[in-house]
Structure 1
Amino acid sequence: MDQKFQIIAIVLFFLVTGFISVHASEPGYTIEKNARFTLYPGKKNDPYSMIIPLRLKHYGKIRVSLSKLQFSGKKVKFISFPPKGAIRLWLVNPKVINKHNVPSKYIYKEKFIMDPTRDYLEYYIDEPELIRNHGKYDLYISNMTKNTVTGAYHLQYPGSMQESRESREQARAQLPDLSIEDIDLTPSNNLRVTIVNKGKSGLPYAAWSKKYHSTTMLKVYRNGKAIGGASLDRIDPDKHLRQPGGKVIYISNIKINQTSEINVGINPNLIKEVTFKNNALLKVLSPQHKTQKLPDLIISKVFLTPQKKVGITIRNIGQSGIPEACWKATGAKACSLKLEINGKSWGGATLKIIDRSKRLKYPGGTVNYISNYTVNRPTRISATIDSLSVVKEKNERNNSYSTELRP
C-alpha cells in the first residue's frame, strides 16, 4: 500500500475505532483524548506516521504522552543513527502540502520519545497564535523504528476559557522574563543598559541564531524618536540571559550629548515571557561634562617696593600650567600684563618678561613683577593679567586687580 494511503487509512481507522473520552461539556475541565494506535515499520527518511487533526477553540497548553508501548520482534531496530527516540511526536501546521516532507517552518514543536514514563511533548499556544491559525493543528505520531509499534497516546488541551487562563498562567510562570533594570550613561556619555532575566527559565538558544541576527531586540528612543537598537547577539554575545537570573550590561555606541528623555525597550513581542510590562524603562538622562584641568591666573597683590616702584604678584591657582608656547608668543598672541594708572593705560609686559623662570608653567606657581613706574603721590593702580584673553583659563573673570597705592 502506498505510504500516502497508509497515513490516510490509519487516520480514518483511528477516528472510527479509537476509544475517545471527552470531558468538555462542563467549564473548567480539560479535554482529554486517549486512544490506542498501531504504527507499522517505517523506512529511512520516510517513517510510518499517523496524523491526528486538532481543532482548538481556546488557547493554552497542549500535552501529549504515550504509554503501553510494545515493539514487535526481539530487538528494536531504528531507521536512522544515532537514534533520537523510538517515537517522534510533532505538532504541525495543517497547511503543509506534502505530508511526507514537512519543512521545518511548519513544525511548531517536536519531541522524540525514548522513555514514555519520562518523555512527553508539551506546547503552549497563546491567543494570537490560536487566532492566526484558526485553531487548526495536526499531531503526527511517527514510528522511528523498523518494528511494528502498538501503544496508547494521551492528549490534553484546555476545554474552557477558565482553564485556558489557568493553563496560560501555569505556562507563563515557567517562561523567561526580561527586565530593563536600569539605563544610565558612561563617563564618555554612551548609553548603558542593564538587562536581567527574572524568569524561571532562560531565553531559548534559538534567540541567538542567525535568524534573529538582523532582528532589533533592543530599541532606543530619544524624546519619542527612534535613534537606534541592537540584536541579541550584540547585546549578550556570551549568552548570560540563557540562565534564570542572568544579567548583562550593554554599552551602546549611542551618545547622549544633551539632557533627553530616553526610553529603552527589549524583546518587542518576539520571545514568549512571563510579562512584557517590565520590558521598557524611561528616564531623563543628562550628559556628564568632564571638568577640564585648566590654569587660572590672578593678580593676588599690587604693592610698592622700597624704591616706590609698582610691584605685581601673579599666581596660577588653576589645576594646570600655562602652555610653553605662551613664552614664545608675541604681539596679539602673547599673554600680557596691562597696567592702568588712575584709569589711563600706562603699559605692560609679556609673559616672557614677567616670568623668565616660567614659574606660572606649573599649578600653584607665583611670580613678582616689578614695573618701572614710580609712585610719588596717592595713585590708583589697576593690573590685568592675560589682558588679551589668550590663555584658556578655568575662570576668565578674576584676571584684574585694582587698588590705591600711597608712597
Structure 2
Amino acid sequence: MSVVLVINSGSSSLKYSLIDVARERELAGGLIERIGQESSPISHTVRQTESADAATTMLDATFREERTVPDHDAAFRVMLDQFAARGPSLDDHPPVAVGHRVVHGGARFFAPTLIDADVERQIEELEVLAPLHNPANLAGIVAARAVFGDVPHVAVFDTAFHQTLPPAAYTYAIDAELAARHRVRRYGFHGTSHQFVSEAAAAYLGRDLAELRQLVFHLGNGASVTAIDGGRSVETSMGLTPLEGLVMGTRSGDIDPAALVHLSRRAGYSIDDLDALLNTRSGLKGLADRSDMRDILAGREAGEEAATLAFDVYIHRLRAYAGAYIAQLGGVDVISFTAGVGENAAPVRAAAMATLGFAGVEIDVERNEARERGIRRISTDASRVTVLVVPTNEELQIARQTAALL
C-alpha cells in the first residue's frame, strides 16, 4: 500500500488526510480548529468499507472532541493521538511521504517540490506575497518534519498550475521595472482544485483533456474562475494575492484602486485599515453582514433587500468573468462548478449561466436542482456546452502529485 499523509495547515487550523494513492481512497482525515485559542474543536473521520451483494458502501465513523491546542506542534501531537486512538494505525499504514499545501509559490515554484531547508527558506521569503497563508503553511511543514523526519516531504503550490499563464494574462500594466523588482504580477490561486476538476471533467466525459476548452468556477468562501485550454491555465481571476476577482465571502474581489486612495484621503484609512476592509469586511459580509451563501439565499428568499443585492452583485461578477473568459478561449466546451457554493447552491449556478445561451449553454432545471453527490451533468442533452458539478478533492490531488514526484 502506498500511503501519503496530506497536510493543509492554516493560521489557526490543521486539516489532514491519510490517502491510499494506489487505490485513490482516503483512509482517514481530520480537522483541528481554533489552534491557539482556549478550546479547539477536533474531528477525526475513519473511512470504512462494507461489502454486500458485490457492492461496496462507504461508512464514515466520525469522532469529535475539544482540547486546548496551543500551537501547530501540539496540533500534530493531537493528530497522532487521533490516529492511535481512532485508527487507522500509522504503524500498519505508515506514510511513504507527506504532501503539504502551500498557497504561494511565486514565480519560483511551478511543480511539486521536495522540501529541504532551502525550500523552507524560500517559502518564508514569499510570505510577503501571502502573509495570511504562507506563514501558516510553513508552520505546518516545520511541525510535520519534526514528527515525520524519516520520510520525504513535498510542497504542492496553489500557484503552480497557473505558471502556464501567458505574459499578456499575468502582466499588470504598471511601471515594468517597479513590477519586476517587487514581483508584482498575476499568480492565481486554487490551482490544485482547478487542475483536479478540469481533469475529472475530461475523464467523466471520456474526452481528451488536450482537446477541451474549459471554465472552472471554484466557489467557496474564497472564489476564483480559471480558463483552461487543453489542460493549461491561460487566464484566472485571482492575481498577486487571493483578493482580486470574484465577489467572495469576506473579500471584495475587483475594485477600482482609486477607491482605496479616496478612502485613505477622505476617511483616514491606513494601509492596515484598507487591508482589513478588503479581506475581512467586504464581499457578501460587507454587502449583507453575512458571509455564508446559505444565509444570503435565505435572506433573498425572505425578500431582504441587502441579501438580494448581495446575490445580484455576486452573480453579476460571475457572468462578467464567464463572458470574458469565453472570449479569451474563443468558445467553451465544458463549464464546471466546484467547492462549497459551486457544489451546493443551485440558484447560484442557474443565475450565473442564465445569460450564456449565446455561447451554447442550456441548463436543465431538474438536473441542476437535484441533490445528488458526485460528479454530474446539469446542462440539457441539447446544450452545446456541457455544464457539470464536480466535487473537488484537493487532498487527493496533492497526494497524487506527491507520489508522482517520488
- TM bucket (normalised to shorter chain) is under 0.3
Instruction: Select the structure of larger CA radius of gyration.
Output: 1
The normalised TM-score by structure 2 is: 0.20
The normalised TM-score by structure 1 is: 0.20
Which has more strand, going by share of residues? 1
